[in-house]
Structures are given as structure tokens and as C-alpha cells.
Structure 1
Amino acid sequence: MKSIILGFIATMFLIACEPTRDVAFYRDNPEEREAKLQVCQSNPGGLGNDRECISAWNALEVKPVSYWRAHRAERGVITSICRDHKATFKNSPNCENALAAQAAVMGGGKPVYIPLKK
């Protein structure tokens, strides 16, 4: 009985001591990054609360504003994620660029008047 308990304690200790993966790891391992992001996005609240999820997100390739302007569907997805997780991702480069592209496409918050055809 003691050996079972000691085995359980040793296993839990090893699991607790497993190092967390950082941004550098996820930049070097894109397959791992994509797998982690899939897990994080399928777990409600996981994307913005798990340290590894945040590291995987910050390891994404930074795309310029021009990219986000040209890719409407992707821009919609990322701006939604950025707004849902403001505290965590708002200052990430991709969020800033995608939100800037969204503002530019929408006229920067200024009303856009389209003349009616006569």
C-alpha cells in the first residue's frame, strides 16, 4: 500500500515539475504551437488564462496591417479573439495590427458617405 501511495506522490511531483513551454519554444516548434492553440481555443477561457496558451499566441508570426486589411475573414477571427481576451492579448502585435486594419477599413471610426446614384 505504501508503495502505491509513494508512486502516486512521485508521479504528481514529476507532473508538477514539468517546465512550462515559453514563446521561444513555440516559435521553434510551429506544429506544437498550432496543436496548443487548438486545445486552448476549444477550452472556454483557456486561451487567456493558461500561461502556455499565452506563450503559443505570442509566438504567432506577426503579420502587418496590410495583410490584415487584405484578409477579411482572418481579420474577423483574430479581432474577435483580441476583444474577448483584451487583458491578455490587446497589446500583442497581431492584435494591434488587426485592430488597426479593422479601423482603417471601417473608416477610422468616421462616418463614410457613399453618394447615391441618380
Structure 2
Amino acid sequence: MRIRTHRGRDRGQVALEYIGFVAILLLVGLAAIQLGVAAYAVNQAGTGARAAARAASLDDPRAGEPKLDPVAAGTAAVSGWLKPDVTPAGSGGDEATYTVTIKIPSVIPGIPDFGTATRTSTMPKLQPPN
């Protein structure tokens, strides 16, 4: 007497399970990449804010040199593909303060908006020699 097995019906089951698992792995991988892109955008916003505030703090009208453009310095300090928005945030007195806002790009399909990264930096203004 021969015992029948049901292996014929199970053919392809492993392939379907593999396809489902690969899709989940791809989503987890994209989420990890998205986290890295968001962290990079925050880091770049901080770098741009520091560069803009530093450029504004070095301005000495009595030095006879052309004034540094803080917005251009902050924009140049950030990777071009991030398109930063550099704005003064209350420069006055002995301090220069600038804010940089960057829209966090999305790498996950179907989720277009991950918000913005905003960083502000304040630098003391350079005191001219007496």
C-alpha cells in the first residue's frame, strides 16, 4: 500500500512567503534610510545656522572690507539639494542670530511630507579694536 503525500499542493508556498518577507524588509530598509536623511537634514540646518550667524558676527563696518552676506554663507554651508531657508532671527546688539529651515525629503513612496528641520544659532559679534 502506498501512502500519498500532499507535497504537490505546497509547491510555491516558500516563494510566496519569501516575496512577502522581502517586501517587509524593503519597508524597514527604507524607514532606516529615511531616518538617516532626517538626521542629515537636521545636521545641515545646524551647520547653515552657525555659518550664517558667524558671517554676521564678523561684520566690522570700520574695517573697510566688504560685508559678508550671512544668508549666502548659510546657504553655501548646506548641501544644495536640501534647499535651505536662511533668515535672521533678531540680530541686534552684541549678538547675531540666524535660523535655517530645511524641508526633510521623503524616500518612502506614498509619504510625501516628513516636516521640517529648524535650527537657530547665535554668535557674539566681533568687537572692533579700539
Report the TM-score, using the length of structure 2 for normalisation.
Answer: 0.33
Higher strand share: 2
Structure of larger gyration radius: 2
Greater relative contact order (CA < 8 Å, ≥ 6 in sequence)? 2
Higher helix share: 1
